[in-house]
Amino acid sequence: MRFRPCIDLHDGLVKQIVGSTLTDGGGGPATNFVADKSPAWFAATYRRDQLYGGHVIKLGPGNDEAAREALAAWPGGMQIGGGINTGNAKEWLDAGASHVIVTSSVFREGRIDFDRLNELTAAVGKKRLVLDLSCRKRGDEYVIVTDRWQKFTTTAITPETLAGLAGHCDEFLVHAADVEGKCAGIELPLVDLLAAACPIAVTYAGGIRDLADISLIASHGQGRVDFTVGSALDIFGGALPYQKLIQFR
């Protein structure tokens, strides 16, 4: 189990937001934290501490310059997600990303478009592609959501879904969008599902508030589920010491 750090970008700034409040309407999302340090500062910190495999996420437009700044501070050290598609994926790899993270561009009308997915895999290579399977609870299922977690697809996270997609990518990234940014506890059934059924590397995000939650991920995840922490971290205005997590590298 590894700690995967994050740099979430909104309007060109490093922020921590409540994921379920991201919309295309006015007013903007609920924001927990806005950094006074640059994206490059965070990337350089992760580089210094040798925390590989974290991710830079562009939450909407206006974040390309900030994302490039972060990637330039640690070439090959972090992944990039947000608006990635077949047309621009190689550009972001050339900018220094180790992997590109994709969700929306491989879905069409709420369903996985395997033609698009195959095109993307061919363009960048399986070993440099991460599929973002971020999800929200609907009934008894965790259903994949796209477009900044606003739109439900028709695809639930199941053992069959995970097995079918694993051959197309290197890793999965799974935000539990309903609890993202709330620091109110993790979606433990989702961690159980990922541990039991995920055949490749997977990172869980959402709701982590303290070391007890991380211990739950370690035990329920059977050591196979990596994690990322946002709003709870002291470097993002929370109470959980970043220095405590460096051991999970």
What's the whole-model pTM score?
Answer: 0.93
Q: Is residue 217 part of a domain?
A: yes
Instruction: Select from 95, 90, 107, 114 the least CA-distant residue to 56.
Output: 95
Q: Which residues pair with 3 in a beta bridge?
A: 227
Whether 225 is covered by a domain: the verdict is yes
**122 — alpha (psi -120 to 50), left (phi > 0) or beta?**
alpha
- Three-state DSSP at 103 gives coil
Residue 127: other Cβ atoms inside 10 A: 11
Indicate whether 28 pLDDT > 70: no
pLDDT tens digits for range 164-222: 999 999 999 999 999 988 888 999 999 999 999 999 999 999 999 999 999 999 999 99
From CA 248, how far away is CA 123, in angstroms rounded?
Answer: 32
77: in domain: yes
Retrieve residue 52's tokens. Answer: 């590989």
Q: How many domains does the chain have?
A: 1
Q: Is residue 214 part of a domain?
A: yes
Residue 32 has pLDDT above 90, yes or no: no
Mind listing the pLDDT tens digit for each residue in 97-149? 999 999 888 988 888 999 999 999 999 999 999 999 999 999 999 999 988 78
Residue 34 in any domain: the answer is yes
Q: Is residue 190 part of a domain?
A: yes
What is d(CA 83, CA 81) in angstroms, rounded to the nearest whole number?
A: 7
Does residue 177 form part of some domain? yes
User: Which domain range does residue 35 map to?
Assistant: 6-245
The CATH number assigned to the domain holding 84 equals 3.20.20.70
